[in-house]
């Protein structure tokens, strides 16, 4: 994997770059739709490519490991062949999902023991077998196993958690270097920087991760309960340490405003379930603010869903019609909303890139942040 830094915005840390993988190039900054179980909910592959204009999607190690299982994935020839997506894929290590099962998991030096949320069966994720599982999945970018400490964790717990994450990272990195891809394409391995809301621990974690010389780095453990301003502070702290010539991935973030603020601070890659999850519940994002499509105010509004939108649903359907679909509990409403929101997110990072290249990103971002948080 190669990363080329092409432009830097004046007055802030925003960057425009290009990531080359064996499954294609990714123009950064980029938002990555989440396909937890190998599919972005309610969205076809051709819609991801042609309407949403996604360049890379996510899969999740925990969910794919449990269902359909690695035997099926390997027999299919990896996730790309299994789901028909021929562009880059990033897989989360599954650590966040395991650690969210607080009542059904146990952390040890060996790894994370947990019970399946599907059938209660016992399993163990180790730094090594998580690499093996992601080799079987065949993702272009693999993530290290880590512990995601809650945003409200005290220093003592965070210290212990970070030490474990660092030891796991060293084991995972060693196993990654000792193993080979299964399907003929290169796979990167990103360390994850933890440290909760403690700047010195974040710096320590970033320095430790950077010492490995990986292809890129992830910032984890944010947007998990801490205030937004604290999250932004931690991004700044970490990005002061991480190499400028490697992509930086902010995990699980977030709202459109969060995304622009992260880009402003030097983040290159982001993902979040918010566009599809909120869309399925009737909340649509636009450049002028958000729309609750269940509100009565849209009942007689026959204007396009998004004037000037980039996907076919934006011009094909009116606000009144989409509201009708939600009120009638039609499944099509959730599909339209998911496509619209994802297309908007990809438009947003594309516009961010355009303004970085043009040299006026910071002024544009400030104007956009003032609009994006409004309820229409």
165/312 Cα distance (integer angstroms):
44
Q: Scan for tokens 């849209």, then name that residue.
A: 298
| Residue 97 pLDDT > 90 | no
Q: In angstroms, how far apart are the furthest CA atoms of the chain?
A: 62
CA atoms within 13 A on the CB side of 153: 22
User: Using one digit for the tens of pLDDT, what is the confidence trace for 43-62?
Assistant: 999 999 999 999 999 999 99
Residue 158 token pair:
């965070």
User: Using one digit for the tens of pLDDT, what is the confidence trace for 22-40?
Assistant: 999 999 999 999 999 999 9
When pLDDT is averaged across residues 184-192 and rounded to a whole number, the result is 98
When pLDDT is averaged across residues 69-93 and rounded to a whole number, the result is 98
When pLDDT is averaged across residues 60-72 and rounded to a whole number, the result is 97
Contact between 18 and 3 (Cβ < 8 Å): yes
Mean pLDDT of the chain: 96
199/216 Cα distance (integer angstroms):
21
Q: In what order do the strands lie in the sheet with 15-21?
A: 2-8, 15-21, 24-28
50 is catalytic: no
User: Using one digit for the tens of pLDDT, what is the confidence trace for 316-341?
Assistant: 999 999 999 999 999 999 999 999 99
pLDDT given at position 147: 92
- The lowest-confidence range among 59-63, 72-76, 79-83, 103-107 is 103-107
pLDDT given at position 104: 77
241/292 Cα distance (integer angstroms):
40
User: Using one digit for the tens of pLDDT, what is the confidence trace for 210-255?
Assistant: 999 999 999 999 988 899 999 999 999 999 999 999 999 999 999 9
Q: Cβ atoms within 10 A of the Cβ of 22, count?
A: 13
| Residue 101 pLDDT > 80 | no
0.75 surpassed by pTM: yes
- Catalytic member of 51, 140, 264, 271: 271
| Residue 363 pLDDT > 80 | yes
| Residue 163 pLDDT > 90 | yes
- Catalytic member of 92, 146, 268, 314: 92
154 is catalytic: no
How do beta strands 141-143 and 188-190 pair?
Answer: parallel
Contact between 108 and 44 (Cβ < 8 Å): no
Q: Scan for tokens 């320590």, then name that residue.
A: 204
Residue 133 token pair:
């599982």
CA atoms within 13 A on the CB side of 322: 33
pLDDT given at position 149: 87
pLDDT given at position 152: 87
Percent of the residues in the chain that have a pLDDT greater than 70, as a whole number:
100
pLDDT given at position 111: 96
When pLDDT is averaged across residues 299-325 and rounded to a whole number, the result is 97
């Amino acid at each position: 994997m190669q990363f080329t830094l092409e432009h830097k915005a004046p007055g802030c840390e925003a960057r425009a770059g290009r990531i080359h993988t064996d499954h294609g190039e990714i123009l950064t900054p980029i938002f990555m739709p989440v396909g937890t179980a190998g599919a972005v909910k309610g969205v076809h592959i051709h819609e991801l490519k042609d309407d949403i204009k996604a360049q890379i999607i996510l899969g999740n190690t925990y969910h794919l490991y449990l269902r359909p299982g690695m035997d099926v994935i390997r027999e299919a020839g990896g996730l790309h062949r299994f789901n028909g997506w021929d562009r880059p894929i990033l897989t989360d290590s599954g650590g966040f999902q395991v650690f969210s099962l607080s009542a059904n998991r146990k952390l040890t030096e060996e790894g994370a023991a947990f019970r399946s949320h599907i059938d209660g069966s016992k399993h163990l994720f180790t730094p090594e077998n998580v690499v093996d599982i992601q080799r079987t999945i065949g993702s272009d970018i693999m993530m290290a196993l880590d512990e995601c400490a809650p945003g409200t964790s005290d220093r003592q717990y965070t210290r212990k958690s970070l030490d474990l994450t660092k030891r796991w990272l060293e084991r995972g990195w060693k196993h990654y270097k000792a193993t080979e891809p299964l399907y003929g394409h290169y796979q990167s391995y990103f360390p994850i920087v933890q440290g909760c809301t403690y700047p010195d621990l974040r710096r320590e974690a970033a320095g430790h991760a950077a010492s490995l010389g990986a292809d890129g780095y992830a910032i984890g453990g944010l947007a998990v309960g801490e205030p937004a301003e604290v999250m932004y502070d931690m991004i700044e702290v970490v990005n002061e340490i991480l190499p400028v010539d490697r992509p930086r991935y902010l995990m699980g973030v977030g709202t459109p405003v969060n995304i622009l603020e992260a880009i402003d601070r030097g983040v290159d890659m982001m993902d979040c379930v918010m566009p599809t999850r909120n869309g399925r519940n009737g909340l649509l994002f636009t450049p002028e603010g958000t729309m609750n499509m269940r509100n009565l105010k849209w009942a007689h509004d026959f204007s396009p869903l998004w004037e000037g939108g980039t996907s076919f649903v934006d011009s094909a359907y009116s606000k009144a019609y989409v509201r009708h679909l939600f009120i009638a509990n039609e499944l099509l409403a959730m599909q339209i909303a998911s496509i619209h929101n994802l297309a908007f997110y990809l438009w947003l990072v594309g516009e961010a890139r355009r303004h970085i290249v043009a040299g006026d990103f910071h002024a544009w971002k400030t104007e956009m942040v003032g609009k994006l948080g409004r309820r229409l």
